Structure 1
Amino acid sequence: MSDSPVDAAEVRHVAELARVDLDAEEVEAFAAQFADILAYFDALDEVPEVEGSSDLVNVMRPDDPRECLSQEEALANAPETEEGYFKGPRVS
């Protein structure tokens, strides 16, 4: 591989952590892509800092408390409930 800051071993390690199987061509392609991404971060280091503060205005509305749904109303349209809670599919 060239002078890339990311070598094939690092790509394989990240792929293993992500449980992704990569062949040799994909490892080389990802190493090059990772190197490009790191180069973009290096380019960000060259951006000058902005002096002073901008005049920011909060455009969000105030948070006004109001009545909420009862537990029965909230569960009324749920396809499945259990002991007063929403019941969803099992995640394996």
Structure 2
Amino acid sequence: MVVSELGYTVDDAKLLADRAKLRFSREQLEKATQELNDMIRYVDQLAHVDTEGVPPMSHPHSFANVWRDDEPKEGLSAEDALANAPDRHGQFFRVPRIIAGEEEG
């Protein structure tokens, strides 16, 4: 079992993959575990950066919100919205099933 000093294991990666309904080979899980631990170690280095005298910020650029009145406008009709849809069912987009379950009846 591959275990990092942070405690993330291949089994942890497999659990996450299973919950996300993703399938990976053992080799892929081992690589992903190593990469995850590498990223966490890298981010952990930020905790040691001296930020004394640096003002807190949420974004590296100085943007200001532009507020305006909320004015209702005419939207697309269902027909216009669905005009380029590759597949539709009445006034709804039809998309491929991505979660296992009962088949449509």
What TM-score results when the alignment is normalised by the length of structure 1?
0.62
In the alignment, structure 1 residue 20 sits paired with structure 2 residue 45: no
Cα displacement string for residues 44-89 of structure 1 (whole angstroms, at most 9, x for unaligned residues): 11123353467x562x4330444511x6xx3162337x6xxx5322
Partner Cα distance (2:67, 2:31) in 1: 49
Q: CA RMSD in A?
A: 3.1
If each structure's helix is expressed as a fraction of its own residues, which one has the higher value? 1
Bigger radius of gyration: 1
Higher relative contact order (CA 8 A, sep 6+): 1
In the alignment, structure 1 residue 77 sits paired with structure 2 residue 80: yes
Give structure 1 stretches of 5+ with no counterpart. none
Question: Given the superposition, is the C-alpha separation of residues 28 and 67 from structure 1 closer, same or farther in structure 2, using an over 3 Å criterion?
Answer: closer
What TM-score results when the alignment is normalised by the length of structure 2?
0.57
1:7 corresponds to:
9
Number of residue equivalences: 84
Question: Given the superposition, is the C-alpha separation of residues 13 and 65 from structure 1 closer, same or farther in structure 2, using an over 3 Å criterion?
Answer: closer
1:62 corresponds to:
67
Partner Cα distance (1:42, 1:35) in 2: 10
1:87 to 84, 87, 92: 92
Q: CA deviation at 1:42?
A: 0.7
Counterpart contact for 2:4–2:37, Cα < 8 Å:
no
Give structure 2 stretches of 5+ with no counterpart. 98-105
